[in-house]
Structure 1
Amino acid sequence: MRKMTIRTRLTLVVGGMLLAGGLLLLGITYLLVFQQLGDKLFVTKTIGEDLPLPGAGVAGDLATQFRGEVRSDASRAVLTQGSIALAVVVALGLAFSWLIAGRLLQPLHRVTETARRIAGAPDRGLHERIALRGPYDEVKELADTFDLMIARLDKSFDVQRRFIVNASHELRTPLTLNRTLLEVSTEHPDAAPELRQLGRTLLAVNERHERLIDGLLLLARSERAVGDRSYVDLADVVTHVAAQHQDDGTVKVTSVADEAPTMGNAVLLERLVHNLVENGVRHNVPAGGWVRVESGTRPDGVFVTVSNSGPVVPRYEIPNLFEPFRRLGTERAAGPGAGLGLSIVRAVAAAHGGKVFADPRDGGGLTVTVILPTAASSEYPT
């Protein structure tokens, strides 16, 4: 059951207070009128002759009866007309209370709208502030505190991104130099077989470190909201990536590419599909493995789904697979990958306003689905 808004509660509270006060005032008025009619009611004939006072025979009885009827009519009139007047006053009070409550809550609506914009565009939105003007009251204090919190988050995220980018660039130079020296040493005519083997091993380690650095750079860039977007049909991306993995040894890669129009960065979206397929190929059975890539539309957007054969994956392990440097059952396992594939997939999907989730297959392997917003028909290329 949906709870009432603050505006509705304020309106009902003010209306209830008006109703209670009006009923109290109506009751006091009724008692006063009833008392006055009982003490000072004089009854006269229509022709102006005074009637006998009560107790003076039949005429006195008629006077008493007539006076009672007058009191009854007057009391009924007070209650009826007073109730109508009270209902009008309460209705007007509710209307004015609704308007005044809306006016008072406008600053809170501004805070909510700003928070919603920041949540919808986490990268660009962190630079936005409420900057509420007016007297320093509770609402102004709340808005200023919110601005201070966003400013600290913005600074923290900027420092983190700059550190990742700067560290990655600084590490690229020595790794490139190491690769060059190792290649020269292993290709030297006088190099011993042991030296060549050592060189090839070191080259493989160096290559893995380079992929790690590239993955960190891509992850840092993917976590930023995509600014310049263009039309992308995920069917073309799926077809292209699947063709690149046709010769992946014993793993058979198939694709079903139905139209899936979206708006985004084509390079990042291609990396998303590439990482999903590469992950499905790498974590597969030794022989007879398969990977299936699909794209299409659904009621909540466009999708890319990658299913594969492979080892059985416990459902409780799935959230860990999307964390950096995490693999099934290990924190930082040795292997050809850097442990950033699915982390980059999640970051790219989030940067495009989408989501990603995975489900274990009964026979082993995973089914990973990425859902992105559908491009509006007016944005289709002509």
Structure 2
Amino acid sequence: MRSERARLTALYTGLLVLAGAVLTGVVYWLVREGLYASISTAVTTAVPARRLEDLPDGASTALPTGLPTPLPSASLVTPAPSTGPGVGRLPVAIAITRTVSDAAESAALDRLLTVSVIVLACYAVLSVALAWWAAGRVLRPIAVITDTARRLSGEDLLKAPPGQGPWGRIALDAPPGELKRLADTFDAMLGRMEQLVSAQQRFAANAAHELRTPVAVQRAAAEIGLAGDPSPERVARIRSKLIEVADGSDRIIEGLLLLAASGQGIRERRRVAVDELARAAAAALADEADGRGVSLAVRAGPLAVDGDPVLLERLLHNLVANGVRHNVPGGRVEIRTGPDGIAVSNTGPAVPPDTVPLLFEPFRRVNERTHGPGEGAGLGLSIVDAVARAHGATAAATANEEGGGLTVTVRF
């Protein structure tokens, strides 16, 4: 049997027929055990013994035609009085009662057995039909899941035909149960797949754009800037521009590699003092913060986690650098560590609340990129989120109501 429905039908039919056969056997045995006593009582009640004692002598040879001859039994040799009327008639009465009871019992049991076998055969045929129907009902959600998984592709997940409800989802309409939970779990998995496919497509498009731009700038600088007979001053400017663009491309590639490495997880873990990394990140960015007129405040409480020190150092560096670079002159960046995790707050331009969740996607910025000096590639918070997930932590951001800017928290 290659079909699961056929296997379930065979199983259900076997169980139903077995239950019917057992029930029939039990009923037959119970009826057989009590049938003779019931018939004997009924015959004795209908024809009392005192009326049988009035039979004439020799009535023992006048039993009803067609009844089986009673077998010798201890009940038939009951001692009778040696004198008095009715001597020898009581055994005859008992023999007649026994003969009638045996004949009625045999006929009733034969009839019961015949009817039971016929009913059991009909029950078996009905069981096959019911089992086939029940197996189909049970397997219907699985068939829907299978058909949905077979027809889906990455394009199906992202392109929904108009007016067809939740595209690429099972949306099983069924009462709560194991199959309902399975269908809902499958729908949730498809939702995550849709988000991953969409994010991957956006990432590929943004990465191609970000890498294509510096290449175009380098080509333009080389072709236009060095055209004709360039002076040494002009060559120096073009050279400086090419180096600047190359450094930007190198930062983008390094960020992409780090993002990919974070997504692969952590191979080796060791105890890392995150509070010390926070102080080191603040010290490394102190000169840049002074140059931008931004003050740094560190309140590093004890925090140690098991993880990769290089990735955790990059996480803290990106958080602090993001707070310094997206700030205003005279602004402030505060770094806090403790049992609750890491929190970095900065002042700066107001951030729309609906934009905040998108900042963790690669190449996302609050404002459009201008390709100015010191401008980041838009991978800082994406790397923070990837490193946090690699350590089993969660990264979240909220827009500050006063003073503008963001507060980014990482909870381990």
TM-score by length of 1: 0.49
TM-score by length of 2: 0.46
Q: Which of these two proteins has the greater Rg computed from alpha carbons?
A: 2
